[in-house]
Amino acid sequence: MGRKFVVGGNWKMNGDKKQVTDIIETLKKGPLDPNVEVVVGVPAIYLAYVQSIVPSSIEVAAQNCWKVAKGAFTGEISPAMIKDIGSNWVILGHSERRTIFGEKDDLVAEKVAHALENGLKVIACIGETLEEREAGKTEEVVFRQTQALVPAIGSNWGNVVLAYEPVWAIGTGKTATPQQAQDVHASLRSWLAKNVSADVAASVRIQYGGSVTAANAKELAACPDIDGFLVGGASLKPEFVDIVNATK
Q: Is 10 in the site for ligand PEP (CB under 6 A)?
A: yes
Nearer to ligand PEP, 86 or 171 (CB): 171
Residue choice 82, 112, 231, 243 for contact with ligand PEP (CB under 6 A): 231
Q: Which of residues 142-171 bind ligand PEP (CB under 6 A)?
A: 165, 170-171
Q: Is 165 a catalytic residue?
A: yes
> H or E element: which one contains 23?
helix 17-29
Residue choice 230, 243, 244, 246 for contact with ligand PEP (CB under 6 A): 230
CB 11 within 8 A of CB 50: no
d(CA 216, CA 96) in angstroms, rounded, equals: 23
Residue choice 79, 166, 209, 228 for contact with ligand PEP (CB under 6 A): 209
Q: Is 232 in the site for ligand PEP (CB under 6 A)?
A: yes
130, 136, 128, 6: which is closest to 59 by C-alpha? 6
Smallest gap, in angstroms, from Cβ of residue 70 to ligand PEP? Answer: 28
Residue choice 211, 217, 221, 245 for contact with ligand PEP (CB under 6 A): 211
Please say whether the dihedral angle defined by the alpha carbons of residues 20, 22, 25 and 26, taken in this order, is positive or negative.
Answer: negative
Nearer to ligand PEP, 12 or 121 (CB): 12
Please say whether the dihedral angle defined by the alpha carbons of residues 2, 26, 54 and 113, taken in this order, is positive or negative.
Answer: positive
Smallest gap, in angstroms, from Cβ of residue 12 to ligand PEP? Answer: 6
User: Nearest 5°: phi and psi at 61?
Assistant: -120, 145
Q: Is 114 a catalytic residue?
A: no
Binding segment for ligand PEP (CB under 6 A), chosen from 47-55, 104-112, 126-134, 207-215, is 207-215
Q: How far apart are the first and last CA of the chain?
A: 19
DSSP string, 191-247: HHHHHT-HHHHHH-EEEEESS--HHHHHHHHTSTT--EEEESGGGGSTTHHHHHTTT
CB 75 within 8 A of CB 90: no
User: Nearest 5°: phi and psi at 166?
Assistant: -60, 125
**Which of 94, 103, 185, 239 is an active site residue?**
94
Smallest gap, in angstroms, from Cβ of residue 199 to ligand PEP? Answer: 27
Q: Is 15 in the site for ligand PEP (CB under 6 A)?
A: no
Nearer to ligand PEP, 41 or 79 (CB): 41
Smallest gap, in angstroms, from Cβ of residue 221 to ligand PEP? Answer: 15
Smallest gap, in angstroms, from Cβ of residue 115 to ligand PEP? Answer: 18
Which residues are designated catalytic?
A: 94, 165
Binding site for ligand PEP (CB under 6 A): 10, 12, 165, 170-171, 209-212, 230-234
